[in-house]
Structure 1
Amino acid sequence: MCGRLSQYDGIHDFVAALSMSNALVNHTGNLPFERYNAAPSTQLALFHQEGQHLHADMVRWGWRPHWAKDRAAPINARVEKVAHGPFFRAIWPRRAIIAINNWFEWVDEGGAKKQPYLIRRRDLAPIFCAAIGQYPNAEHSLGEHDGFVIITADSAGGVVDIHDRRPVTLSPDLAQEWLNLATPKERAEQMVLLQGEPTGDCQFFCVRAGNGLPPGRP
């Protein structure tokens, strides 16, 4: 991922698509988010589960452990390493979902500037991206070190023409299982390694200046 995404629906639209029966503890408001080109460090709505409740909080996109002061906070974590490397060890058990409407990639097509592409689901449904992070819970309120990263995998199919990495996206059923505190860490790892949604469910559009989003790729 190049680091831009859209989250413009409201939290209740995302909850309806997620189809969770858990009571919602909502700290994000009830209006549409209207974030059409969200950048790293933006506060975005993040789902996580605490006890029997689904929580929605505004959390910064990007996280690093307290000891990694010599680098910028990553916004993504590679699925091949996230469960076992030291960098994300503290937050690997702290699973979350970020629901988005689409994301963007920039491609070098030989012009003066890279060409942006918008990627979304063919059915226009929300995209549930697997994430991990440090966020408010029963043990602490929102803090300056809170943040989250999106788990990414190798691209496949048509999307590989746009970028070599993509977010790991989960079906609503798997997103619920990912959020469930009772899901073992070993099972969670297998889900993001092997059960992410296929890229064939996605479509991408070339974004042309002044023309909005065209109906298809030229």
Structure 2
Amino acid sequence: MCGRLSQYRSIHDFVAALSIQNALINYAGDQPFGLYDATPSTQLALFHMEGQFLRADMVRWGWRPHWATDRAPLINAWVDRVARNPFFSAIWPHRAIIAIDNWFEWVDEGGPKKQPYLIRRKDRAPILCAAIGQYPNAEHEPDENDGFVLITADSTGGMVDIHDRQPVTLNAELAREWLNPATPKERAEQIMLLQWEPIEAFEWFKVDRPVGNVQNQGAHLITPTG
């Protein structure tokens, strides 16, 4: 997974995709986010459970433990290593969902620059991605060390021959189970290892090369070019 994604709908669109009836504790705002080309370190809307309530906070994409000051924050964690990797041990119990509209990959097609592709669900529904992180809750005020990482998996030889990793994406039922604090860690590991959505749920197409410019936001970035 390359490290660029879109989160342009509003929090309420993403809540509807999760189909959680519990009351929402909303620290993410009500307006559409309008992030068509979100980069690592961007504050993104992240879902987690606080008791019986669903909570949404704006949390930085990227995290490192307090002792790893000599390392850059990571944005992704490989699904087959994350549960037992000491780097992530502090946040492995803190499961979350990052709901996105699409993500981007770059492909070397022989030209002077790589060609960006957009990947989204065929049904255009939000993509519910498994994540873990350090984030605000009733016992933890927002902190400069807060952040999250996306969990990524082998895309079975490369999603549309674009990249060999993809986010671990879950249907709404499994996303709710992943978020539920009562779900045992062993079951959470099984979900992320074995039950993510198949490549067939997605479609992809070329988009204009301005994708990747953090100053360049707008719906034109997700328009097919052919």
Structure 1-normalised TM-score?
A: 0.96
Q: How many residues align?
A: 216
Are residues 1:48 and 2:58 paired?
no
Displacement of 1:209 = 4.6
Deviation for aligned residue 1:72: 0.8
2:155 aligned with 1:145: no
Partner Cα separation in structure 2 for residue 156 and residue 8 of structure 1 = 28
Using the alignment, how far apart are the partners of 2:106 and 2:30 within structure 1?
32
Question: Which residue pairs with 1:202 in the alignment?
Answer: 202
| Deviation of the 1:110 alpha carbon | 1.4
Residues 163-174 of structure 1 aligned to structure 2 (within 5 Å):
163-174=163-174
Runs of 4+ aligned residues of structure 1 deviating over 6 Å after TM superposition are: none
Report the residue type matching 2:146 in the other structure. Answer: D
Q: Distance in 2 between matches of 1:162 and 1:147?
A: 27
Name the amino acid aligned to 2:123: D
**Contact 1:157 1:199 (C-alpha < 8 Å) held by counterparts:** no
Deviation at residue 71 of structure 1 after TM alignment: 1.3
* Cα distance in structure 2, aligned partners of 1:171 and 1:128: 7
Letter in 2 for 1:64: R
Amino acid at match of 2:138: A
Match of 1:90 in 2: 90
For the 8 Å contact 1:158–1:200, the answer to whether it is kept is no
Q: Distance in 2 between matches of 1:54 and 1:41?
A: 23
Residue 66 of structure 1 pairs with residue 76 of structure 2: no
Q: 1:29, CA displacement in angstroms?
A: 0.7
> How far does residue 165 in structure 1 lie from its aligned partner after superposition?
0.5
CA distance in 1, matches of 2:120, 2:114: 19
> Is the 2:115–2:206 contact (alpha carbons within 8 Å) kept by the matching residues of 1?
yes
Secondary structure at 1:156 match in 2: strand
Q: How far did residue 157 of structure 1 move?
A: 6.6
Question: Deviations for 1:145-172, whole angstroms, at most 9, x for unmatched residues?
Answer: 0000000000137615010100000000
- Name the counterpart of 2:103: 103
**Bigger Cα displacement from structure 2, 53-62 vs 199-208:** 199-208
- Asked if 2 retains the 8 angstrom alpha-carbon contact of 1:96 and 1:132, the reply is yes
**One-letter code aligned to 2:42:** T
Deviates more, 1:152-161 or 1:107-116: 152-161
SS in 1 for 2:183: coil
Match of 1:57 in 2: 57
Match of 1:131 in 2: 131
Contact 2:115–2:209 (CA under 8 A) maintained in structure 1: no
Per-residue Cα deviation, 1:20-76 (whole angstroms, up to 9, x for no partner): 011100001100000000000000000000100000000000000011111110000
Q: What residue ranges of structure 2 are gaps of 5+ in the alignment?
A: 211-219
Question: Is residue 214 of structure 1 aligned with residue 220 of structure 2?
Answer: no
Whole-angstrom CA distance in 1 between matches of 2:204 and 2:156: 13
Q: 2:136 and 2:224 mapped to 1: Cα distance?
A: 39
Q: TM-score, normalised by structure 2?
A: 0.92
Query: Partners in 1 of 2:31 and 2:156 — Cα distance?
Result: 35
